[in-house]
Structure 1
């Protein structure tokens, strides 16, 4: 093996070992901690312990694989009021990273997630216990009840984490944004906080389950207010959110 190839091969092997270790540790953690927390949440209607355990598990896994998170603009996190946090999405790592960086909003953080994930038994139990809201991406009529539920939660003081592209970008370029998040914010008169994540794609190469050690940057933009805005301005608001995220990528 040529000298310059050997270190690369060792790094790849080490990254694969770290990833496997993280998966095993995460699985063991979930099997041990998950059942009693789900029972607690069901009996006492308290999701706080689930949030705490979830972010702890994610941080443990990220530490094992060597992924570091650098946060910019944390002052734009709206701890005193409900808001919609709109993230870009080009890697499987972005949802757990987004969840962790918004931990100061626990337990009043909700996630708008694609309904297809409800096919995963354990995950759906956790999502339901935490009050997360599934949305049908392909059928507007079927998505309306989810939007109504999200609006009610926003009005009650919960914040939402959303991915307005609706799916992962295969190229890393921003996809067109769906309007659901902005419509939720307009109806609840809640601000939208655009958030850009960079570096996550480098951690997971397309088609590979191996996670590589990188530093991921999360940049919070100033909130975009919706109070006093009308539904006629929804396209303009969507473009404002998208442009703010694009400016940080």
Structure 2
């Protein structure tokens, strides 16, 4: 078990503090986006520096809300040459920073195309090898997933939220099939990750921020998909859901 203390003191943020967190988060995101774009402009951007920037940005965001992170479970060796896809619960915008801080490897989020339309951030994500998926266009989505597969084969660990949207109460929502198709297509190892308490930091569809919230990142037993066929898609989805539900339960991941 790894415990990362970030000055915990649980309290509901005042309006002034909420404004400070929002402005600080926007400023940090703009700063690191600009750093990535400047390095890309001068041909000095490489995967390792993107990894470093992602973790620095994530740690700074978590410090703004004084989150107290605990990491439980065995984290796989993402550098063993196999393809990996992290399938994570999704109950807050802070799921991604918590994952970047807690897990090793060149992690990149499988992102919605709408994020790439955000000025500065969208261009930085593209330069930093964040794959996108256009869910509104089936033909385009297939091409996007093929591109994501190529990135995985080059050593990138994909982060995906099988629920597709944020859960308002931390409970699992119905799964989408896209990331499971990708896992089977690439014979990837699925690493289930559940983040408990994260929905209370910034509840979905609200501006309420809780400072010093304890957050528990739980890494489950990896699921091999090598040799599995599309006929077993539903079985794989059910197994991942079961493992995430167990991680979200009262017992601690070993």
- Choose 194-203 or 26-35, whichever is displaced more: 26-35
TM-score, normalising length: structure 2: 0.83
TM-score, normalising length: structure 1: 0.84
- Aligned-residue RMSD, C-alpha: 2.2
SS class of match (2:46): coil
Q: List alignment gaps of at least 5 residues for structure 1.
A: 1-10
How many residues are aligned here? Answer: 235
Q: Aligned pair in 2 of structure 1 residues 31, 116: CA closer, same or farther (>3 Å)?
A: closer
State the shift of 1:15 in Å.
4.7
Q: Aligned pair in 2 of structure 1 residues 46, 190: CA closer, same or farther (>3 Å)?
A: same
State the shift of 1:48 in Å.
2.7
> For the Cα contact (< 8 Å) 1:93–1:200, is it kept in 2?
yes
State the shift of 1:72 in Å.
0.7
Greater Rg over alpha carbons, structure: 1
- Cα deviation 1:132-167 (Å, max 9, x = unaligned): 111122333221111100111122222100001111
Q: List alignment gaps of at least 5 residues for structure 2.
A: 1-10, 249-254
1:1-249 aligned within 5 A? 11-12=11-12, 14-32=13-31, 34-42=33-41, 43-76=43-76, 78-80=78-80, 81-102=82-103, 104-105=104-105, 108-212=106-210, 213-249=212-248
State the shift of 1:47 in Å.
3.7
- Corresponding residue of 2:6: none
Q: Aligned pair in 2 of structure 1 residues 156, 245: CA closer, same or farther (>3 Å)?
A: same
Q: Distance in 1 between matches of 2:144 and 2:204?
A: 31
> For the Cα contact (< 8 Å) 2:166–2:204, is it kept in 1?
no
State the shift of 1:185 in Å.
1.7
Q: Distance in 2 between matches of 1:170 and 1:24?
A: 23
Which structure has greater helix proportion?
Answer: 1
SS class of match (1:121): coil
